Amino acid sequence: MLFYNKARLKKSGEKLVAQGQLDKAVAVFDKILANEPEETDILFLAGELKIRLKQRESGLALLHKAASLYDQGNETQKAISIFKKYLQHDPDNLDILSKLADLHLKAGHPGETSQTLLRAAAVASAKDPSQAIYYYEKVLKHEPDNPEGLASLAELYLKQKLIPKAVECSFRAGQKFFEKGNYAKSYMHLYTVIQHEPDNLSANLMILETLIRLQSYEDALVHWNAMSQGEKETDLKLLQYRGDILLELGRKDELKNLVHKMSFMVPDSYTVIFRFVDRALGSKRHAMAVELLDLLDLSQYHSFSSKITEALSRILAEDEDNVGALQKMAELKIFTGDIQGVTSMYAKLYQNFLKNEDHRRAYQLLEKWLNLEESNDWIRQEMRRLKLILDEKSDRNLDLMRGKLEEISLADLIQMLESARKTGVLQIRYTDRVGKIYFNKGAMIHAAYLDSIGADTIYHLLKLPGGDFTFDPNLPAGLVTSIQHSNTQVVLDALRVIDEETHRLRESGEASDAT
């Protein structure tokens, strides 16, 4: 060109862009590039315009050239920006993704480097697993603990039948997801490990911890039970996991047996016991904490009285009427010779029993208290008062009966009440339905259940598959007599009807089978 003026041409091109004459603007920018083929700004502008004009391939080629020139000139950030633009139009271009990752690494962007490589690996996975593995391995080279990279690489290794590598990556992925608090993903990858290495102790332990963190305690117990025997019954850490699970499930007796067993496996048995006491206290399981303290040998009371006191005080600070804690504290103070402390605990227990009208336990407590203070007249006076209450209650409840029809049939119960010539009301509850049979000196005089009244009611009650019963010796006044026949006749008539119905049903069932 005879009179080449770059600035004038650039200004003209920009004006044409503003006017929307993109094809003419491209022609102007092409003139500049004909004279200065490595003019990066013009390459970028022309590339963008050609893409807008549906000249995608030539436009992308100009963007690629511009980014490469910026890279050569160490203008890394500009190169990154242009390659990102490129990927907006060709998002699955592995060559560009790879170059962009290298530029991010060069610019000191580790996070962006990994993300770009992960993107490249995801693209490659659908086309060439071996190439995807290459990209994932590059991710881990720059960021060894990237959980997404580890997880995806493990999956690809499995597809390629590279089991040892898959197991290693799955385990590391499980670890990293666990550290990040993503326990569901951690469990998923650790489970992959034990599918191929069921005896991998590290993976099994982490699975147990993961399920506990997820509060999936039943699943954790199932997993613990499914683990191969080996060290399971002797490995203290594994047994501790089982104990933690049993505690969360509230399986008190199993936990006590386990802790008792574990206490013989260590030189200082108290460390095991207090470990679970502390965990029980942490989850507000006060009753369980007290029962675990029962596992301490009496000989350990002197040595650990302060620690026992601390545990019991924590319970009583949150639940001052906790009977178990008060009793254990009194027991401890007796052992340590703190009589004043014992008296204080007994006083609190006594008030608690009275408040709950548990007069029998209150009386038994006073008997213990009197052994400590034989000259205390107040204790003797209270014992006399409680004795009167207990005697009166015993007389009042002498005829009170309760139980389950699964343990004694209604027919036998009616016969027993008749033999004892009982007067009162037999109440039968099955689910939310209630039936009543009224007795006068052992004879049934009235019965009611749902819409049924009288002798027919006994038939309906005898058909019930179970239920709870109570007998109240107080018979309501003014009761209408609806049963005229003897107990034996009413019960036998009802049982005969039930037998006939059962026989008919059996015959109809056999007839259906025959047809």
- Same-domain pairing of 409 and 505: yes
Which pLDDT score, from 0 to 100, does residue 150 have? 83
- Same-domain pairing of 382 and 485: no
Encode pLDDT of 462-497 as tens digits: 999 999 999 988 898 888 899 999 999 999 999 999
% of the chain surpassing 70 pLDDT: 96
Domain-embedded: residue 17 = no
Domain-embedded: residue 19 = no
Q: How many Cβ atoms from other residues are within 10 Å of residue 118's Cβ? A: 21
- Same-domain pairing of 366 and 329: yes
Out of 372, 397, 422, pick the residue that ends a domain.
397
Helices 163-179 & 147-159 angle (0-180, nearest 10): 160
Encode pLDDT of 311-355 as tens digits: 999 999 999 999 999 999 999 898 888 999 999 999 999 999 999
Domain count, the chain: 2
The enclosing domain of 338 has a CATH number of 1.25.40
Encode pLDDT of 175-186 as tens digits: 999 999 999 999
- Same-domain pairing of 380 and 432: no
Q: Is the pLDDT of residue 281 over 60?
A: yes
- Same-domain pairing of 430 and 484: yes
The residue among 125 and 193 whose pLDDT is bigger is: 193
Which pLDDT score, from 0 to 100, does residue 271 have? 87
Provide the pairing of β-strand 452-453 with 443-449.
Answer: antiparallel
Give CA–CA dist 60/42, Å, rounded.
13
- Same-domain pairing of 386 and 435: no
Do residues 336 and 302 make contact, with C-beta atoms less than 8 angstroms apart?
yes
CA 5 to chain centre: 75
- Same-domain pairing of 356 and 390: yes
Encode pLDDT of 434-461 as tens digits: 999 999 999 999 999 999 999 999 999 9
Q: Could you give the dihedral angle defined by the CA atoms of residues 410, 414, 420 and 421, in that order, rounded to the nearest 10 degrees? A: 150
Read off the DSSP letter of residue 436: E
H helices of 227-268, where? Answer: 236-249, 252-263
- Same-domain pairing of 356 and 448: no
H helices of 373-486, where? Answer: 377-396, 410-419, 455-462
Domain-embedded: residue 290 = no
User: Which residue segment(s) compose the domain that 367 sits in?
Assistant: 313-397
Which pLDDT score, from 0 to 100, does residue 245 have? 93
Who contacts 323 (Cβ-Cβ below 8 Å, separation ≥6)?
Answer: 349, 352
The residue among 29 and 362 whose pLDDT is bigger is: 362
- Same-domain pairing of 505 and 478: yes
Which pLDDT score, from 0 to 100, does residue 298 have? 74
Mean pLDDT of the chain: 87
Which pLDDT score, from 0 to 100, does residue 411 have? 93
Domain-embedded: residue 148 = no
Do residues 101 and 74 make contact, with C-beta atoms less than 8 angstroms apart?
no
Q: Is the pLDDT of residue 209 over 90?
A: yes
- Same-domain pairing of 405 and 443: yes
Which pLDDT score, from 0 to 100, does residue 398 have? 46
pTM equals 0.56
Domain-embedded: residue 368 = yes
Give me the numbers of helices (H) and strands (E) for the chain, helices first please.
Answer: 25, 6
Read off the DSSP letter of residue 267: S
Domain-embedded: residue 124 = no
pLDDT (mean) for 388-413 = 77
Which pLDDT score, from 0 to 100, does residue 136 have? 76
Out of 397, 415, 437, pick the residue that ends a domain.
397
Which pLDDT score, from 0 to 100, does residue 514 have? 47
CA distances from 392 to 2, 63, 338, 402 (A): 129, 102, 36, 20
- Same-domain pairing of 445 and 505: yes
Domain-embedded: residue 481 = yes
- Same-domain pairing of 470 and 493: yes
Which pLDDT score, from 0 to 100, does residue 515 have? 42
Dig out the tokens for 262 from the structure. 């574990």
pLDDT band at 107 (very low <50, low <70, confident <90, very high): confident
Domain-embedded: residue 332 = yes
Out of 397, 425, 455, pick the residue that ends a domain.
397
